[in-house]
């Protein structure tokens, strides 16, 4: 076996491994990206437990076919790169969308979500979904808000009771003083 064939088999194995581990994969046309833009994007992928790699279309198709994923032949034409999202389902699509907003150079070809095909429109919709951390934060806020409102209400009730208690003490004091004055005036008479 030639060294070139062996290297290709290793690449197919690497692609299969990444496809199997990834929660989502976005296939993009990276034409026109500068080295600086590409470097910044790759850094963003690494920070978000994702990966971005350029492979030959034939090798990607072979890996997909070996995994039983078919029907992507028409999408893997021309320059193609794969964005693998390992941490959550939206990270790869979201980073691609952020990069595209800055550069206008990453065209979505298609995607995979848990091994299922997604059109470019579905990948764009996926990018608009908040990340897991954002959703957890929103959920905590929703849970926290009623608790906060309850704490504020209880605090206001306590303040009101304190004011009422103070007023009652003042009234008692006034009555006591009045009664005391009344007794003194009756004694004098």
- 97 in Cβ contact with 124 (< 8 Å): yes
Question: What SS3 state is found at 110?
Answer: strand
How much is the pTM? 0.68
Report residue 21's pLDDT band, with 50, 70 and 90 as the boundaries. Answer: very high
Q: What strands, in cross-sheet order, belong to the sheet with 50-54?
A: 50-54, 81-85, 24-29, 107-113, 116-118
Task: Kindly report, residue by residue over 123-153, the tens digit of the pLDDT.
Answer: 888 888 887 778 788 788 787 777 777 777 7
Query: How is residue 9 written in tokens?
Result: 């088999």
Geometric angle at alpha carbon 50, from 43 and 103, rounded to 5°: 50
**Within 10 Å of residue 97's Cβ, how many Cβ atoms?**
18
Q: Round to whole Å and give the CA distance between 19 and 13.
A: 10
Task: Kindly report, residue by residue over 51-105, the tens digit of the pLDDT.
Answer: 999 999 999 999 999 999 888 888 888 888 999 999 888 888 888 888 888 888 8
- 130 in Cβ contact with 138 (< 8 Å): yes
pLDDT of 189 > 60? The answer is no
Phi, psi of 109 (to 5 degrees): -95, -50
């Amino acid at each position: 076996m030639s060294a070139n064939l062996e290297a290709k088999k290793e690449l197919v194995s690497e692609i299969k491994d990444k496809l199997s581990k990834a929660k989502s994969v976005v296939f993009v046309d990276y034409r026109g990206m500068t080295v600086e833009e590409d470097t910044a994007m790759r850094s963003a992928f690494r920070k978000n437990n994702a990966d971005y790699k350029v492979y030959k279309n034939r090798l990607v198709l072979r890996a997909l076919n070996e995994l039983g994923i078919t029907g992507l032949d028409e999408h893997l034409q021309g320059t193609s790169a794969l964005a693998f999202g390992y941490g959550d389902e939206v990270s790869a699509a979201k980073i691609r969308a952020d990069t595209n907003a800055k550069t206008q150079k990453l065209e979505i070809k298609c995607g995979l979500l848990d091994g299922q095909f997604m059109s470019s429109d579905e990948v764009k919709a996926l990018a608009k979904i908040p990340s897991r951390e954002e959703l957890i934060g929103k959920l905590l806020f929703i849970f926290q808000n009623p608790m906060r409102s309850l704490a504020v209400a209880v605090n206001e009730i306590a303040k009101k009771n304190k004011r009422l208690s103070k007023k009652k003490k003042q009234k008692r004091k006034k009555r006591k003083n009045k009664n005391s004055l009344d007794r003194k005036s009756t004694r004098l008479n």
